[in-house]
Amino acid sequence: MPNYRRNRLPGGTYFFTVNLLDRKSHLLIKHINMLREGVRITKRKHPFHIDAWVVLPDHLHCIWTLPAGDDDYSGRWRAIKKHFSKAIPVGEYRSKTRIKRNERGVWQRRFWEHTIKDDKDYAAHMDYIHYNPVKHGWVETVKEWPYSTFHSLVEKGVYPIDWAVSSVDCINAGERD
């Protein structure tokens, strides 16, 4: 098994991008409850804190903070992906390699991880996550997208409900690609 170069900081805070194999698919929002269930089950067995999350039709971004002494985000992603893949109907294309390995053709095998360095880095990634549906053209304003932590963060006073509706906010958030 390959040993990918991953930064592992026990108890660290991480930004993730996780993609479906078929980038034209809408499986994540079509089966959002199955994804949520996989996250709940995984969190119960292997706790972590969700700082921010956005689910788009074909990919998702999130920030997690792991418990002190724990750096196993890969195991958590494996569990979430596995649960989701088992919960949705079969029907996707599978390569010969995936068939041979008895794998579904739902997720890209890898994910992108970035260790959050400081408060400025954290704020930039929080903004990027919540602005992403606007960036990809799914909605015109952040508050319109239902599959993110934006509204709960508005309730907590982290963001105003009209965040990123001014051209300056949109330009700044859009630059963090």
Domains within the chain, CATH numbers bracketed:
1-116 (3.30.70.1290), 118-177 (no CATH)
pLDDT given for residue 169 in this prediction: 53
CA distances from 61 to 15, 26, 47, 53 (A): 7, 15, 18, 6
CB atoms inside a 10 Å sphere around CB 91: 7
The answer to whether 21 touches 106, Cβ cutoff 8 Å, is yes
Q: Is the pLDDT of residue 177 over 60?
A: no
- Cα 125 to Cα 173: distance, rounded to the nearest angstrom: 9
- Cα 97 to Cα 156: distance, rounded to the nearest angstrom: 46
Mean pLDDT of the chain: 90
pLDDT given for residue 11 in this prediction: 93
pLDDT digits over 75-85, tens only?
Answer: 999 999 999 99
Instruction: Give catalytic status of residue 147 as yes or no.
Output: yes
pLDDT given for residue 3 in this prediction: 56
What is the band of 41 on the pLDDT scale with cuts at 50, 70, 90?
Answer: very high
Please pick, among 73, 128, 131, 147, the residue that the annotation labels catalytic: 147
The answer to whether 48 touches 135, Cβ cutoff 8 Å, is no
* pTM to 2 decimal places: 0.88
Residues 117, 123, 124, 125: what is their CA dihedral angle, to the nearest 10 degrees?
Answer: 80
CA 158 to chain CA centroid, Å, is 19
- For residue 18, which phi and psi values (nearest 5 degrees)? -130, 130
Least confident of 15-24, 35-44, 65-74, 162-171: 162-171
DSSP string, 69-100: T---HHHHHHHHHHHHHHHSPS-S---HHHHH
pLDDT given for residue 5 in this prediction: 74
**H or E segment at 114?**
strand 112-115
Of 100 and 18, more confident: 18
pLDDT digits over 122-172, tens only?
Answer: 999 999 999 999 999 999 999 999 999 999 999 999 999 999 885 445 445
What is the average per-residue pLDDT within 6-33?
93
